[in-house]
Structure formats: C-alpha cells, structure tokens
C-alpha cells in the first residue's frame, strides 16, 4: 500500500541512459575525421603503389605481356644483379656490426672526458648532411691523384717520409760503357781510380722530366785522392757526341751516385744542380761508379680507391663515417641511463674496467645495441644514394646493390619496369622480416 505523500521511485535519467546508436555514430565520425586523411594518404602513397608494383612485376618491360616469374628468375641469373645481391650480403654482414661497434667504443671512451660534447658533435656532424652530399665529399677525397685526393695525399706524405721518389722516372745509357737498367741502377763498366773522372751520360729523358733546378752540365775539377764526375742528360738539339759533356746539355741534380769496390758500396753522394759529384779521400785501388736505383724510384701515383676492386670497401667506409655518429648518440643515451651504483659495485668487487664493460655495461646496453643494429640492417638493405654519388660510372656495376639496381633498371636508361618492379618486391621481402623482428622486440619491451 502506497504511503501518502511519497513519490514513486525515480527512473533512470537522461544522463544515465546507455549510449544510443546516435552516440556511437558520432564517435565513429569523429574518429574518421582524425584518421581519414592519414588513411587516404597511406592508401595513396603506400598501399596502392605496393600492390601496383607487385602486379607489375609479373609483366614484361612495357607491361603488355604477362611473363609470370621470369622477372624474378632474372634477378638470380643476370650478372649485374647477382653482383648486387652479393654486395648487399657483404653490406649486411659488415656495415651494421661495424657501425654498432664503433658507436659503442666512442660512447664508452668519451663518457668521462671533459671535451666529450665537442667530440660527439664532430662525430655526429656528418648526419647533418645528406648521404648524397657525403658521397660527393668522399668521391673527391678518394680521387686517385694525390694532388686532389686527400686520402692518397696522406699516403704519399707517409711514403715520401720513408722512401722518397727518385728524380727521374726513366732513362737509358747514352754509351755502351754505362750498363744496367732503371730497376737495378746503371754501372760504369770502366774501372775508376783516385783522380779520375766518371762520366755517366743518360738519354731518353723527356724535357718535362728534367728537374726544374737543373743547370748546364759540368764536371767538377779533379783533385788528389778524389773521384769526380757528372750525371747529365746527354742530348743536345742539333746533334753532339755521346759520352761527352757539351754546351747546352743539362745536369741531373739530386741523382744518387755510389762508389763501389767490388760488390760493396763504400761511399754514396748526391749530384749538384749541374750534375756534378765528388768522392773525397778515395784510397788506392780500382772502383766502379754507379747511378743507384733510388734515382729512378717511381713516385706514388695513388691507390685506385674508386676502381673495380676497392669501390665497395670505399663506399662502406664512407657510409660508416656518416652513421657512426648516430650509433654513438643512441648508445650514449642508453649508457647514461645505466645505474652508476651497479658499475661502482662491480669495481668495488675487484672487476677490471674490461670486465665491467664486458659483463655489466654491454649486457645492460643489449636492448639499445639491438635497436642500432636492426636499424642499420634496414638502412643498408636500402642503401642507394651514397653509392650513386661515390662510385664513378666505370665501377658502378662492381659497387651495385639491390636498391641501385632497381633504380638503374627502371629509370637509368634500361626502362625495364617489369624487372625493376620485381627487384623492388624482392627488396620488400628482404626488409619485411627485419621489420617484423623490430616490431616484436618493441612489443616485448612494453
């Protein structure tokens, strides 16, 4: 029985009502507004091109005939494409490990130095420019001419410090009395005694190769107990007598001359600007005078870094130079998050710095190292522009990789879009497992 004055139990108000279909529609519309543009762009720029490329890979050059798997077969039978596969395998096997290792070393070694910011900035600086621009820099630095290429210029400076180049590149004796060759030196067949002259005439020397400080050839005045002589370019325009120093003939300065007693070298000297030389305090007996082979030591002409044999290691080095800074910064960030108490505890227990690094630091950095390593694997599978800018046209076939082969096949003059699409799909299939591994690792860390 209802009590007088009591109101009936209030039902659910409008605020407590379950979500109606109109509310769900409103939320779906809001989601579509925010995600719609992204989905459209994703479909236009990623999904459609991917599907279209996969379909196109089963057709011929101009897309008029279905060829099935012929394009994929060509990837493994064409010489240039096989070279690209081999080079990519080398890139994956070498470059990611090197970049990760160098970044780890730089990050650990610079952790305690006072100028770490300046050093890390300098190492990271190549990341501020594009790979193509970095390739142009290394193309110039690796030039074979030591006058232009910085790398060969450095090698030339070191080589000149230990074994300088000779003053002549080639020459021949002007008379039969002088015997030998540029590889062994020239020896005067006539025995010499103290007070005699040794005339060492050379010919077949281009005027451009005569040292610039050469003057009129002359034989120093003989003296008691001395052997004198001259090394000169035994050639006079208009004729002359071989083996005789004449007016208009130039001396060879800087030539190395040896005084030999049998097979033993007893004295060495260097010719003057007029080609003259002198051996003082020569004892009794007979000697032979020789132009040493060092006079004809070939100058350093440079290592062919951009040639077919060394182009791939050269491009790899340039790529490592660019990405080492990225690796160092990422690993240094992970290193800064490691608890210092753990490291100090290991040192307190008597661990050496190497043991701390190997058993504490490296294991704790394993997630960061895997991020860098996997990222580099993905990058080297797609490497393209630095090879295009470093490798000259004559050695691009030897430095070829999958991404470059795809571009050259499709747009580099071959215009085989069927084979180019197949290469692109093959590259996608190589990258997908690495991407899946990376996604799995991200989910495991969450």
pLDDT at site 340: 81
The span from the CA of 278 to the CA of 44, in Å, is: 86
Both structure tokens of 84:
């690209």
Q: Spell out the residues 6+ positions from residue 65 whose beta carbon is closer than 8 angstroms to its own.
A: 59
pLDDT per position as a tens digit, 299-318: 888 899 999 999 999 999 99
pLDDT at site 307: 92
Confidence of residue 3 (pLDDT cuts 50, 70, 90): very low
Q: Decide if pLDDT at 17 tops 70.
A: no
Q: Decide if pLDDT at 163 tops 50.
A: yes
- Eight-class DSSP state of 61: T
Both structure tokens of 212:
């610039």
| pLDDT, average across residues 194-203 | 90
Least confident of 132-136, 434-438, 440-444: 440-444
Q: Decide if pLDDT at 7 tops 50.
A: no
User: What pairs with residue 288 in β-bridges?
Assistant: 260
Nearest CA to 428 among 72, 97, 28, 74?
A: 72
Sheet containing strand 197-203, strands side by side: 172-173, 197-203, 227-233, 276-279
Domain parsing of the chain, residue ranges:
70-153+305-445, 172-296
| pLDDT, average across residues 413-433 | 92
Max Cα–Cα distance, the chain, nearest Å? 155
The CATH class of 70-153+305-445 is: mainly alpha
The span from the CA of 132 to the CA of 348, in Å, is: 49
Establish how many alpha carbons lie within 13 A of residue 346's alpha carbon, considering only the half-sphere containing its beta carbon.
Answer: 15
Q: Decide if pLDDT at 52 tops 90.
A: yes
Angle of helix 366-381 relative to helix 417-445, nearest 10 degrees, comes to: 170
The span from the CA of 446 to the CA of 438, in Å, is: 13
Average confidence score pLDDT of the chain? 88
Phi-psi region of 6 (alpha: psi -120 to 50; beta: other; left: phi over 0): beta
The span from the CA of 258 to the CA of 180, in Å, is: 14
Out of 2.60.40, 1.10.8, 1.20.120, 2.60.120, which CATH number does the structure's domain 172-296 have? 2.60.40
Q: Decide if pLDDT at 30 tops 90.
A: no
pLDDT at site 18: 52
The span from the CA of 13 to the CA of 20, in Å, is: 14
pLDDT per position as a tens digit, 339-367: 888 888 888 888 888 888 888 888 888 88
pLDDT per position as a tens digit, 210-236: 899 999 999 998 778 899 999 999 988
The span from the CA of 165 to the CA of 300, in Å, is: 7
pLDDT at site 445: 67
Confidence of residue 2 (pLDDT cuts 50, 70, 90): very low
pLDDT per position as a tens digit, 247-258: 989 999 999 999
Nearest CA to 321 among 197, 86, 150?
A: 150
- Decide: helix, strand or coil at residue 229: strand
Nearest CA to 329 among 71, 163, 173, 126?
A: 126
């Amino acid at each position: 029985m209802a009590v007088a004055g009591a109101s009936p139990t209030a039902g659910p108000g409008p605020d407590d009502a379950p979500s109606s279909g109109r509310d769900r529609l409103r939320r779906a519309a809001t989601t579509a507004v925010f995600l719609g543009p992204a989905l459209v762009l994703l479909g236009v720029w990623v999904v459609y091109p991917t599907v279209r490329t996969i379909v196109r890979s089963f057709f011929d050059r101009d897309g008029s005939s279905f060829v099935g798997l012929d394009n994929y077969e060509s990837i493994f039978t064409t010489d240039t494409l096989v070279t690209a596969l081999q080079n990519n395998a080398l890139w994956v096997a070498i470059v990611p490990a090197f970049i990760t290792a160098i970044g780890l070393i730089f990050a650990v070694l610079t952790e305690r130095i006072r100028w770490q910011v300046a050093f890390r900035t300098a190492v990271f600086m190549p990341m501020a420019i594009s790979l193509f621009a970095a390739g142009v820099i290394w193309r110039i630095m690796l030039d074979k001419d030591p006058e232009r290429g910085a790398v060969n210029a450095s090698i030339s400076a070191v080589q000149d410090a230990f074994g300088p180049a000779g003053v002549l590149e080639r020459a021949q004796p002007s008379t039969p009395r002088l015997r030998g060759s540029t590889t062994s030196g020239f020896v005067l067949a006539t025995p010499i005694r103290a007070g005699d002259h040794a005339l060492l005439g050379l010919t077949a020397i281009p005027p451009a190769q005569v040292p610039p400080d050469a003057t009129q050839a002359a034989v120093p005045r003989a003296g008691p107990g001395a052997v004198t002589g001259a090394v000169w370019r035994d050639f006079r325009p208009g004729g002359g007598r071989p083996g005789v120093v004449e007016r208009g003939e130039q001396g060879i300065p800087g030539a190395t001359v040896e005084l030999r007693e049998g097979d033993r070298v007893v004295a060495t000297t260097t010719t003057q600007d007029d080609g003259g030389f002198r051996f003082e305090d020569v004892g009794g007996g007979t000697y032979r005078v020789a132009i040493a082979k060092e006079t004809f030591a070939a100058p350093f002409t440079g290592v062919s870094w951009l040639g077919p044999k060394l182009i791939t290691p050269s491009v790899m080095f340039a790529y490592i130079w660019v990405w080492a800074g990225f690796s160092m910064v990422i690993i240094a960030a992970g290193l800064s998050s490691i608890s210092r108490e753990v490291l100090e505890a290991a040192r307190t227990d008597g661990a050496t710095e190497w043991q701390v690094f190997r058993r504490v630091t490296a294991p704790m950095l394993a997630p960061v190292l895997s991020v860098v390593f996997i990222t580099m694997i993905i990058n080297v599978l797609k490497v393209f522009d630095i090879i295009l800018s470093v490798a000259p046209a004559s050695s691009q076939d030897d430095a070829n990789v999958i991404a470059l082969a795809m571009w050259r096949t499709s747009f580099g003059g071959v215009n085989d879009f069927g084979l180019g699409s197949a290469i692109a799909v093959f590259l996608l299939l190589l990258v997908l497992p690495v991407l899946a591994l990376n996604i799995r690792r991200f989910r495991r860390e969450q």
